[in-house]
Amino acid sequence: MNSVLATRCESVNAATALWTSEARTAGFSPTTLAYYRAVNTSPPPVASRFDYYYTLVKQPASQHTGSCAHVLVMRAGGGSLTVYAARITP
């Protein structure tokens, strides 16, 4: 996805829309309050149920770190991903 974003200068919102579309196609779902309640139950649920979820964080417009958006994906542990859409200089 970042190779696509690198060929054109997109906004954080456009990068977010691209991530959301690609993630859905790959079988990932955004986290919800229900997701976090289930993950934090005792005993913890079977991890494989939570392998295809992501938390999306968008850079605020007030942060000026570049002009073109990219997407950073970090493994959050417990099967979840943290995804950060931000204007950064690659």
Q: Which residue has the higher pLDDT, 46 or 27?
A: 27
**Mean pLDDT across the chain:** 84
pTM: 0.79
Residue 65 is predicted with a pLDDT of: 80
Residue 61 is predicted with a pLDDT of: 80
d(CA 12, CA 15): 5
Q: Given phi > 0 = left and psi -120 to 50 = alpha, else beta, which region is 87?
A: beta
d(CA 2, CA 22): 11
Query: In this model, does residue 64 exceed pLDDT 60?
Result: yes
d(CA 72, CA 79): 16
Q: Which residue has the higher pLDDT, 64 or 27?
A: 27
